[in-house]
Homo-oligomer: A and B are copies of this chain.
Amino acid sequence: MCQLLGMNCNTPTDICFSFTGFQARGGLTDHHRDGWGIAFYDGNGVRIFLDAQATIDSPIAALVRHYPIRSKNVIAHIRKATRGAIGLENTHPFQRELWGRYWIFAHNGHLRDFAPDFDGSFLPVGATDSERAFCYILQSLRMQFPQGEPDADSLYQALRALAGELGAYGEFNFLLADGLRLYAHCASRLAYIVRQAPFGVAHLKDQDLSVDFKEVTTPDDRVAVIATIPLTDDEPWQQIDRGTLLAFKDGQAVHYDDMKTGAGCEPGCSLEAVA
C-alpha cells in the first residue's frame, strides 16, 4: 500500500513542512520504501522528482525538503510495491498531456483484473494497475470530449463517473490534477485540512517539528492539504467520505450537488493496512 499527499492553494506555496512529515513515512516512521515521487505545477509547466529509493535515503528528497519550490498544485506519493516491480517506470506520480495541459496522477489501492482496451492514445509504460487506470481515464476523457477541454462542471461529472467505474475493480483512492484543479477521490482513506486566516501553529505527527503559519503566510492565503493519513496531530483534519470525489481549487473544496462516486470501500476493504 502507498500514501498520498496533495496540496492545492490560492497562491504559490511551498510544501517543505508537510513533505518533511510525509517523507518520514518513506522508511523511518513507516514502511513505504519502494520509491517516491512529487509533482509541482509552475504555471502550465510541471516539475516532477522521482526516485526508486526510499524517501528517507534519497538526496533528491532532501533537496525537496529544504529547497522551497512554490506551487499552487502538488501531488506526492510514497510507494510500497504491491503490483509492478520496483523501478522508475512504476513510480508515481505519472504524467501525460491532454488538451495541451499536463495531467498528473497518483493512486493508493489496488484494482484487480483491470485490463481495459487501449486505443493507443495513452499507453502505460510501466506495469502498475495505477498507470493503467490513469491512461484509461485520459483516453475516456478524450473520447467523451472530442472537441477538447469541456467546462469545469462537465469535467467533474465525467471524472466522478470514471472514479465510480474504476472503483468497481477495487480500492481506488487517487489524486489527479490538470493544473487548474486537484481532484481527490476517497475509496477507503483520505483526509484534508484547509488552512486559512487566522493561522496558527501546527505540529507534525511523524517528526518533532512545528511551524507557526502566521509567520509564513499573508492573511489572504488559503491552502488545502490532502493526505492518506493526517500529517499533523493538533489540527482538525476532515476525513473525506468514502466514495466521494472532491475537486479543489484556490485552496478549497468546490462543492457539487452530488459528490458520490459509488466507489467507496467498506471499512476493512484494504488488502493491506494503510498504516
Contact residues of A with B, CB < 8 Å? 42-52, 59-60, 63, 67, 87-91, 95-97, 99-102, 120-126, 142, 146, 148
Given contacts A43-B89, A45-B91, A96-B97, contact A142 B120 (CB under 8 A): yes
A100 to B118, CA, bound (A): 11
Q: B residues within 8 A CB of A91?
A: 45
Given contacts A48-B48, A60-B67, contact A43 B87 (CB under 8 A): yes
Report yes or no: B95 in contact with A123, Cβ–Cβ below 8 A: no
Contact partner, A60, options B50, B63, B88, B99, Cβ 8 Å: B63
Q: B residues within 8 A CB of A67?
A: 59-60
Report yes or no: B126 in contact with A44, Cβ–Cβ below 8 A: yes
Secondary structure call for the A interface: mixed
Q: In the assembly, how many copies of this chain are there?
A: 2
Q: Whole-angstrom distance from the CB of A105 to the nearest CB of chain B?
A: 13
Q: Whole-angstrom distance from the CB of A103 to the nearest CB of chain B?
A: 11
Q: Whole-angstrom distance from the CB of A54 to the nearest CB of chain B?
A: 15
Given contacts A42-B52, A45-B91, A88-B47, contact A97 B120 (CB under 8 A): no
Contact partner, A89, options B44, B121, B142, Cβ 8 Å: B44
Report yes or no: A46 in contact with B88, Cβ–Cβ below 8 A: yes
Residue of B nearest to A59 (CB): B67
Residue of B nearest to A118 (CB): B100
16 A-B contacts, Cβ less than 8 Å apart?
A: A42-B87, A42-B88, A44-B88, A44-B89, A45-B52, A45-B87, A45-B88, A45-B89, A46-B88, A48-B48, A59-B63, A60-B63, A60-B67, A97-B123, A100-B124, A120-B142
Q: Whole-angstrom distance from the CB of A83 to the nearest CB of chain B?
A: 16
Q: Whole-angstrom distance from the CB of A248 to the nearest CB of chain B?
A: 21
Q: Among the interface residues A67, A89, A91, which one has the most CB atoms of the partner chain B within 10 A? A: A89
Q: Whole-angstrom distance from the CB of A88 to the nearest CB of chain B?
A: 3
Q: B residues within 8 A CB of A87?
A: 42-45
A45 to B42, CA, bound (A): 22
